[in-house]
Structure formats: C-alpha cells, structure tokens
A and B are shown apart, each in its own frame.
Chain A
C-alpha cells in the first residue's frame, strides 16, 4: 500500500515538474513575443536588425555599448543621456554620424527595454510556429490556383478529330466495297459517282455543282464576316482600348491601391490640381519603399529599380549613387486636337477615377487602358451624366441660373449637356 502511495507521490511530483517547466517555457515565449511586439511598435519604424534604415542596424547592439545600463538609459532618452554623459565618445559619435537627428525619447520601462534587447539578441525565438503555418497556407494557395478547363477542351477536340477521321475512313471503305459489288452501272443507277482517282479540286467542284444554293449562302456569310472584320478594324484605328504595354518596372496597382488601400491621389496627386494627372516621381515611391525593400512576388528585383532611379544606397541608407530616370511607357493618350482637364472632372465634376480608368485597384501588372477614349464615348457620358450640383459650391451660381432657364420645360436635373458639355469649342479650340 505504502509503495502504491509513494508511486502516486512520484506521479504528483512529476506532474508538478511538468506544469512548472511548461509555465517557464510559456513565460519565456511570452517574453520573446513581447519583445518582438515592442520592437515592432517602438523601434522598427527607424531600425532594422540587419542593415541601416533611418537609424543604425540593431543586431549586436549590446556588444557595441560598454554597459547595458548606459544602453538602456540611451534608449529611454537619448538627449538626456548625451547631456548627462559628455564623456561617452561612442554615443556622441553616433549622434554626429546620423547628422544630429534625434532618436525620440521612448516611454518604455526597464523591463520592456530588456524584452526588446532579448528579442534583438535572439530574434528567432517563438518564430518557428508562425513559419510552419505560413508554408501550409502557401501549399493550399498553390493547389487551388490551377485551372484545367483548357486541357479538357483540347482533349475533347483531339478525340472529336480522331472520331471524324475514323468515320470518313469507314465511309470510304464502304464505298470501295459497294463499287466492287455494284460496278460502274450500279453506281450510275443509284446516282453515285466513282471519284477514287479525283483530285481534291475536282471533288470540290463536283460538290459545289450539286449544292449551288448552299455555296451561294456560304459566299454571303464569308463576305459579311470579312466586311465586319474590316469595319471593326477601321473603327479600331486610333483607339488604344486594352493597350497594356510592358513597363520598365512590374508595378501592380492591385498590390498598392487594392491590398494596401492607398488612395489613387496619394501618388497621382496632380489629378486634383491640374490639367494633367501626374506619374509619381520615384522619390514618392521612396515614401514607402525606404521601408519595404523586398516585394512579395519579384523580391528585390523590381524594387531595386526605384533605388537605381533615385540613387539610393541600401547599405548606407543615403542617396549617394547616380540617378537614372525610369522610362515608363505612356498608355493613355488623347490627340492634341482634344482638350481634357483632369481637375475639372475630378474636383468640380466629382467623378471617381474608376469611371474612366476602370477598376484599377484590381488590375495587376501590366496596367491597361479601360475606356476607348473616343469622342463618341466622351459625348455619351456628357449626355447621360447628371451634374452633381447640390452641395458643390463650384456650381452655386450656375445652378440658380439653370433652374431659372429650364423652369418652363420642367427640367430639374441637369446633365453635362445642359451646361454646355456638347459644344464643340469646349474641347476643340
């Protein structure tokens, strides 16, 4: 009995040990996780572990400082530390090296700074789990990505062709057999022709002679099709719709405007201010891409082209290389004879970008022209679009005038046509 109890006792001790070790392991992980979170929330907007960002790389930061206490004091309030320790050459040289840009004081207590330093010393702790989950997701995504419809259709077509060929061969063999049985006279009597030695041309001529109506109909159909193709082709002269040329950088509007919800006018800000909308300068790309140096699809290949354009050196985090402009290929192009003003449509007309440019936030690379941008297309929109005059002070005076003018006709809503949108000289002068 006592042995039994002692066994239970052993089990109890074992369980306690297990629970305890589990707790320790968990709390350690919590520490590492907290450090990562704190790092991301407080440090990562200026520092990376490897390589400069705004400030220096933090990997091995503890080795570069004499004591951990000084480092913690520096992190909590760097300006205070500099004035308190005029003799710390390393801290002062660091301040000089980064053009006296101040690292803001961090409202962090010692334990939090320690958690961050632990994370910097050992960033991989607690990351394995996340990585595993990520791989699984990737596999799932790949599985659902394939589309077999085309293969099925092709397979079906091949089978169909084989069947037709076999049937034709059978028909031919049967005819040969019949000829053997009936002979020339029998064929003549049944209205059949012995055509075994005819050329394809002779066969066709014979068939056409017997099916004149059908041939005439086919001729008409072919003529209509050809005329239609020519007509459509002529209508397409000078229309760029669907034009989607390769660009020097594989820029995806879907990633930027779709997934990351960046507004169109963040980059194309001149659309609200002037006649032209602008292609953003490469420096504007740097607003985000100083931080994001690796893309999800092409890695550093495409993003490094921005750095080439603005002369950014990722190692020194400075613009110390030669600059090289990006040669974007222009897609939308109106002939010189037509005047178009972006701000007029976007600000006064309150037209969404997507109405003319299509759902650009869903367009991956390359960008394409959505609308035909023909005169007919412009006119159609001017006829149908109601001008949003209420609450738009641009139209205050005009609105009152139009209400007066169209009172007798009973028109209360005004399209662009009524404010002169169809007059030739509005766009051609």
Chain B
C-alpha cells in the first residue's frame, strides 16, 4: 500500500505542472525570483506595499519640458490662443500621427473621427464623443486639441502618461486633417504671410470663445 501511495504522489507531482494555478516545478528558484526589486513587485518597506513608487513631487525627467498650461478653463483658453505645433509640418508626420491615432484614439473617436469607435458605440458607454468635423469641434485650434489630449476633456481621461509630447503633436496634425483642415495650405500661408495667419488664428479663437 505504501508503494502505491508513493507512486501516486510522484505522478501527482508531475501532473501538478498542468495546474493553471501553479507555475510548475522550479529548479533553483532563486534564478527566477531574484532578491533585487523587480518592476511592480510588492515591497514591504512602503506603507501601501507597492514597489512602484511615484517620483518625488516636482521632479522632472532629464530632457523633459513640462507642459506650461494648467488644467483649468483659463489654461485651456490660453493654450488655444498661444500654443503652436512645434513640429514643422510634413506629410510623413501626419501619417505617423495616423498610426498613433490607430493605437490610442480610434476605439472611441472612430476611424474618421466621427465619434463612432467600438467603445463609443458600445451601449454601455454613456455617450459618444462629438465628431471632429461637427459644429462643436471643427474649428478647435491646435493648442486646445493638444491641451485636451494632455489633460482630458469631459469623459475623456488624460493621455499624457501614455503619449509623449512629440507624439501628441503628431496626433494634433492628424486630428486636424480629420477636422477637414487643409494643413498644407495653412502651412504655406504661415510661411508666406505670418500676419495673415495670426489674424486667422484670432478669428478661430473668437468663434471658439463663443462656443465655450
């Protein structure tokens, strides 16, 4: 009887590998579970036991320029008036923006920015976002688009943690094409006649102010 039990336990030990709750047998587990802190590991040193810590308040990563507008209504308006896309326009940037859009925006805003993405059309979702080329958003200036991606707007959450500033500006170019803007013409105008561009921007902002 003892022998039978022994055989059973050996078989069970090997069969244990297929138990989805267990990672299986480990030979020299210290090679897998190193004493150094791995990403996201539990760390009893801290009160909440979370090994992933927030950086000290006010710390700025090397080579990083913090976004200078605050997450307030005033900040939003200021960004709309003052912020310009620092990346010189090129079609390549727009197509890169399109790629980023496909990863971070399309599931809510939809392929053409009509607010008909898979998440937004899910009946559980409270309400779809407005269309980029609709009355509410088609004249939204670049700065406000950037500000909204950074801090979020309404039900849309902040995306600054997922998309870095350069990628956000590429996105702005692509969103502007979805607004129906002729970026090439805008850029050419900016190059040939700076003043005219500024006036146009003023007009843009005025209509937007009425909106708000």
A40 touches B42 (CB 8 A): no
Q: For B76, give the chain A residue with the smallest CB separation.
A: A102
A244 to B73, CA, bound (A): 46
Q: A283: which B residues are within 8 A, CB to CB?
A: 157, 161
Distance of B14 from chain A, by nearest CB (Å): 4
**Which residues of chain B are within 8 angstroms of A262 by Cβ–Cβ distance?**
107, 118-119
Q: What mask results when residues 216 to 242 of chain A are scored 1 for a CB within 8 Å of chain B, else 0?
A: 000000000000011011001111101
B157, A238: Cβ atoms closer than 8 Å: no
Residue in chain A with minimal CB distance to B7: A226
A266 touches B162 (CB 8 A): yes
A377 to chain B minimum Cβ distance, whole angstroms, is 16
Question: Which one of B21-29, B170-178, B196-204 contacts A?
Answer: B21-29
Docked Cα-Cα span, A21 to B119, in Å, equals: 39
Name the residue of chain B whose CB is nearest to the CB of A78. Answer: B212
Binary interface encoding of chain A residues 281-309 relative to chain B, with 1 for a CB under 8 A from any of its CBs, else 0 = 10110111011101010000000000000
Q: With A102-B73, A337-B31 as given contacts, are A54 and B155 in contact (CB-CB < 8 Å)? A: yes
- Flag the segment in B58-66, B79-87, B123-131, B185-193 that touches A: B123-131
* CB neighbours of A239 from chain B (8 A): 17, 24
A352 at the interface (CB under 8 A from B): no
Are B27 and A238 in touch, CB under 8 angstroms?
yes
Interface centre among B17, B32, B49, B125 (most CB of A within 10 A): B17
Taken together as a complex, chains A and B put the C-alpha atoms of A41 and B104 apart, in Å, by: 22
For B124, what are the chain A residues with a Cβ–Cβ distance below 8 Å? 292, 294, 296
A259 at the A/B interface (Cβ < 8 Å)?
yes
Q: Report whether A230 and B14 are in contact in the complex, using a CB–CB cutoff of 8 Å.
A: yes
A100 engages B20 (CB within 8 Å): no
Smallest beta-carbon distance B191→chain A, Å: 27
- Alpha-carbon distance A240/B162, docked complex (angstroms): 30
Which positions 24-41 of chain B face chain A at CB distance < 8 Å?
24-27, 31-32, 34, 36, 39-40
User: In the complex, A107→B211 CA distance in Å?
Assistant: 8
- How far in angstroms is the closest Cβ of chain A from B21? 6
CB within 8 Å for A246 and B118 given contacts A45-B129, A276-B39, A292-B124: no
Contacts of A243 in B (CB 8 A): 20, 22-24
Question: Is B72 an interface position by the 8 A CB rule?
Answer: yes
Chain A residues contacting B135 (CB-CB under 8 Å) are 107
Contact B14 A45 (CB under 8 A): no
> How many B residues have CB within 8 A of the partner chain?
58
Chain A interface size range: 35 or more
Contact (Cβ within 8 A) A40 B23:
no
| Bound-state Cα–Cα, A266 to B39, Å | 19
Q: Pick from B27, B39, B118: contact of A259, CB below 8 A.
A: B118
Rounded to whole angstroms, the CA-CA distance of A317 and B187 in the bound complex is 42
Say if the beta carbon of A185 comes within 8 Å of chain B.
Answer: no
Q: A229-B11, A240-B23, A324-B48 are in contact. Are A290 and B34 (CB under 8 A)?
A: no
A240 engages B128 (CB within 8 Å):
no
**Contact across chains for A45 and B154 when beta carbons are under 8 A apart:** yes
B9 interfacial contact with A, CB 8 Å: no
Distance of A39 Cα from B126 Cα, bound (Å): 10
A323 within 8 A of B: yes
A265 to B159, CA, bound (A): 13
Residue of B nearest to A241 (CB): B24
Q: Which of B39, B104, B130, B211 contacts A263 (CB 8 A)?
A: B104
Query: In this complex, what residue of A is CB-closest to B103?
Result: A263
Q: List residues of B (119-158) whose CB comes within 8 Å of A's CBs.
A: 119, 122, 124-130, 135-136, 152, 154-158
CA–CA, A245 and B21, complex, Å: 4
Q: Are B23 and A261 in contact (CB under 8 A)?
A: no
Q: Which chain A residues border B122 with CB–CB below 8 Å?
A: 259-260, 292
Known contacts A105-B211, A287-B156, A44 near B23 by CB under 8 Å: no
Mark each residue of chain B from 6 to 21: 1 if its CB lies under 8 Å from any CB of chain A, else 0: 0000010110011011
A236/B211 in contact, CB under 8 A: no
Name the one of A46, A77, A99, A294 contacting B154, with C-beta atoms under 8 angstroms. A46
Assuming the A-B contacts A46-B154, A262-B107, are A101 and B73 also in contact, with contact meaning beta carbons closer than 8 angstroms in the complex? yes
Decide if B103 touches A261 in the complex (CB within 8 Å): no
25 A-B contact pairs sorted by A residue (CB < 8 Å): A44-B126, A45-B155, A48-B126, A80-B210, A102-B212, A105-B210, A107-B135, A229-B11, A230-B14, A236-B14, A238-B27, A239-B24, A240-B24, A242-B20, A243-B24, A261-B118, A262-B118, A284-B157, A287-B157, A287-B158, A291-B155, A296-B124, A325-B48, A330-B40, A333-B32
Known: A44-B127, A263-B107. 16 other contacts (CB 8 A): A79-B212, A80-B210, A99-B72, A105-B211, A238-B25, A238-B27, A261-B107, A262-B107, A265-B104, A269-B104, A287-B157, A288-B157, A292-B122, A292-B126, A325-B50, A327-B42
Task: State the 9 A-B residue pairs at the shortest beta-carbon distance, nearest first.
Answer: A44-B127, A287-B157, A233-B14, A261-B118, A45-B127, A244-B20, A107-B135, A325-B50, A44-B126
